[in-house]
């Protein structure tokens, strides 16, 4: 359940950042591409923090690695798709 909440939080954070960019930036497509690009390393850090906290709780790296990928990849893959879609628009 916690993993699903993290994934949903990633999608929500990406959506919120894109909506803010659309409201504030004069060049909406360029801002969308930039926000998607900036989101990727930030979400990676969130996933690494979750990995670290799981390891601090007593789980091993090999136990936490699939959860790390499950948390990191879906929002980042969506951000990659958005970045590619809007970078030349």
pLDDT along the chain (89 residues), means of 10: 94 97 92 96 97 96 97 97 91
pTM of the model: 0.91
Rounded CA-CA distance 70/45 in Å is 14
Domain-wise residue ranges, the chain: 2-86
For residues 9 and 70, the answer to whether their CB atoms sit within 8 Å is: no
Here the tokens at position 34 are 């930039």
- Can you give the pLDDT at residue 1? 87
- Can you give the pLDDT at residue 88? 84
- Can you give the pLDDT at residue 46? 96
């Amino acid at each position: 359940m916690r993993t699903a909440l993290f994934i949903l939080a990633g999608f929500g954070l990406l959506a919120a950042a894109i909506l803010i960019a659309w409201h504030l930036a004069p060049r909406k497509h360029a801002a969308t591409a930039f926000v998607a690009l900036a989101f990727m390393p930030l979400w990676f850090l969130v996933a690494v923090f979750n990995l670290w906290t799981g390891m601090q709780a007593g789980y091993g790296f090999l136990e936490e690695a699939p959860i790390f990928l499950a948390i990191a990849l879906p929002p980042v893959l969506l951000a990659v798709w958005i970045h590619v879609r809007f970078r030349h628009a």
